[in-house]
Amino acid sequence: MGGFAGSHHHAIARLEERGHARLVCTCDPREAAFGVEQQTWRLPARGVRVFRDYRAMLDTCHRELDLVVVPTPIQLHAEMHAAATALGLPTYLEKPPTLDYAELEQMIRHDARAAKSSLVGFNFIIEKPRLALKERLLAGEFGAVRGATLSALWPRPTSYFARNNWAGRLLIDDRAVLDSCMGNAMAHFVHNLLFWVGTKELFSWAQPAAVRAELYRAHAIEGADTFFVEADTTAGVTMRFALTHACSGPSTHLEMVLCDKAVIRYAVGHATEVRWSDGRVEKSVPAPFDGLVENHLDYQRYLCGASPRPATTLADSRPFVVLNDLAHISSRTIAPVPPALVRSVRDEKEQKEYLDVAGMVAAHENFLVKGLWPGARGWERAAGEVATPTELTRFHDTVRAMAAARPRL
């Protein structure tokens, strides 16, 4: 009921008012802590049964359900998805499905037990302007895709990493969690960039063939808060990703697709631009988009047989999960950002502390535009090694070694 699950409750209540859904039951081990929310969502008046344990909820209610929504901590997704699909029920599974490539394969197998495929809730694949541009890309209007870059600077206060027991964690009980800017908050944008470069059909994602990465931390966390990742795809396109939570000020994010005849600049929630090599610029401002309501409706169309597939299936999530795992394997270690570059910035209005890395924007630009790695330019770490999908077998040992080498927190 808390965190992003609260947003699902709001979205489903709105859908219920419009006659598109009915919430049968919900659960949270801390349900008593959400008394106010339960009244706000009018759960008693709507006849919603509340449980503390999801297994008891499924046992009791499964015959009344068409789908199960799983907006819980990442490390619980696999077991909850397994329990729902064992009863033949598909899930609306929050992104990321898991950050462990081997667990994802097991989830893909489990998903086949349900009558319909699960949806992985990456918010932005169904945006109409995105789909329209991808159609034009596939039709060859912009020429061949030569490269793609993602820059995302999303400040997160130090309190963000203390909001629950899994934030910033690599491992819990020897299971890979890998919570990070790449695996969690910015996963949408990473998956979006892979979507642009997936050229087999509209709903296709680029496959990473070789990955190099440098991972850093400025915060006192087990995992990384800053990623520089380069991937060559099986189609020979070079993709670069620069992502961080170690910054302050406004959030920015930009997906760029570099084609022979034009560059597409797509920033979720902002104007989209197509800059043609001949100087023309096409600009379009997106219409308001309620991501959760729209994704629920889109998934419902699929469940009812009105559309052929969910926006992102578990199998479609493979490139994202593999890229994230190979980035960890390539980086081998999570290096501290040199302390001299890190300063604490207090936001008096929010009453929160941020860690801001001097030169972060320049490091993003140098990497994305020129391919220059920060490790060789003052951030004092060895380069990442090339990691290919055959090296995924090293993933679990790599994560254990990274966790063992974490700083004293």
Ligand X SMILES: NC(=O)c1ccc[n+]([C@@H]2O[C@H](COP(=O)([O-])OP(=O)(O)OC[C@H]3O[C@@H](n4cnc5c(N)ncnc54)[C@H](O)[C@@H]3O)[C@@H](O)[C@H]2O)c1
Judged by beta carbon, residue 32 or residue 76, the one nearer ligand X is 76
CB contact at 8 A, 253 and 86? no
Judged by beta carbon, residue 160 or residue 266, the one nearer ligand X is 160
Q: Is 164 helix (H, G, I), strand (E, B) or coil?
A: coil
The whole-angstrom separation of Cα 166 and Cα 189 is: 22
Minimum Å gap between C-beta 12 and ligand X is 14
Please tell me whether residue 120 binds ligand X under the rule CB under 6 A.
no
Query: At a CB cut-off of 8 Å and minimum separation 6, what does 402 contact?
Result: 170, 222, 223, 328, 332, 333, 334
Select the residue interacting with ligand X from 4, 162, 260, 358 (CB under 6 A).
4
The whole-angstrom separation of Cα 228 and Cα 35 is: 42
Select the residue interacting with ligand X from 46, 60, 64, 76 (CB under 6 A).
76
Please tell me whether residue 147 binds ligand X under the rule CB under 6 A.
no
Phi–psi pair at 153, nearest 5 degrees: -120, 105
Minimum Å gap between C-beta 328 and ligand X is 17
The whole-angstrom separation of Cα 389 and Cα 207 is: 10
Written as six digits, the tokens of 96 are: 């990321």
Judged by beta carbon, residue 165 or residue 277, the one nearer ligand X is 165
Question: First CA to last CA across the chain, in angstroms?
Answer: 29
Judged by beta carbon, residue 154 or residue 354, the one nearer ligand X is 154
x/- string (CB under 6 A) for ligand X, residues 13-32?
--------------xxxx--
Judged by beta carbon, residue 54 or residue 196, the one nearer ligand X is 54
Minimum Å gap between C-beta 29 and ligand X is 5
Measured CA to CA in angstroms, residue 98 lies from 77, 103, 184, 399 at distances of 7, 7, 10, 14
Minimum Å gap between C-beta 120 and ligand X is 10
The whole-angstrom separation of Cα 228 and Cα 327 is: 9
Select the residue interacting with ligand X from 75, 98, 117, 123 (CB under 6 A).
123
The whole-angstrom separation of Cα 76 and Cα 99 is: 12
Minimum Å gap between C-beta 123 and ligand X is 5
Give, as ranges, the residues between 163 and 182 that touch ligand X (CB under 6 A): 164
Please tell me whether residue 3 binds ligand X under the rule CB under 6 A.
yes
Q: How many residues in the shown chain lie near ligand X by CB under 6 A?
A: 21
The whole-angstrom separation of Cα 121 and Cα 126 is: 10
Select the residue interacting with ligand X from 91, 118, 184, 192 (CB under 6 A).
184
Judged by beta carbon, residue 71 or residue 198, the one nearer ligand X is 71
Select the residue interacting with ligand X from 90, 121, 223, 319 (CB under 6 A).
121
Minimum Å gap between C-beta 291 and ligand X is 7
Minimum Å gap between C-beta 56 and ligand X is 11
x/- string (CB under 6 A) for ligand X, residues 224-263?
----------------------------------------
Judged by beta carbon, residue 160 or residue 373, the one nearer ligand X is 160
**Residue from 251, 256, 122 nearest 183 by CA:** 122
Q: Is 361 helix (H, G, I), strand (E, B) or coil?
A: helix
Minimum Å gap between C-beta 111 and ligand X is 17
Judged by beta carbon, residue 186 or residue 363, the one nearer ligand X is 186
Angle, nearest 10°, between helix axes 128-138 and 187-197?
30
Judged by beta carbon, residue 121 or residue 389, the one nearer ligand X is 121
- Residue 119: which H helix or E strand, with range? strand 119-121
Written as six digits, the tokens of 384 are: 């990442």
Measured CA to CA in angstroms, residue 406 lies from 170, 199, 215, 224, 340 at distances of 10, 39, 13, 10, 20
Q: How does strand 272-276 pair with strand 262-266?
A: antiparallel
Give, as ranges, the residues between 35 and 74 that touch ligand X (CB under 6 A): 54, 71-74
Minimum Å gap between C-beta 44 and ligand X is 19
No. of helices (H) and no. of strands (E), the chain: 12, 18
Minimum Å gap between C-beta 310 and ligand X is 14
Report DSSP state, residue 11.
H
Distance from the Cα of residue 35 to its chain's centroid: 30
- The CB-nearest residue to ligand X is 3
Minimum Å gap between C-beta 323 and ligand X is 16
Interface with ligand X (CB under 6 A): 1-5, 27-30, 54, 71-74, 76, 94-95, 121, 123, 164, 184
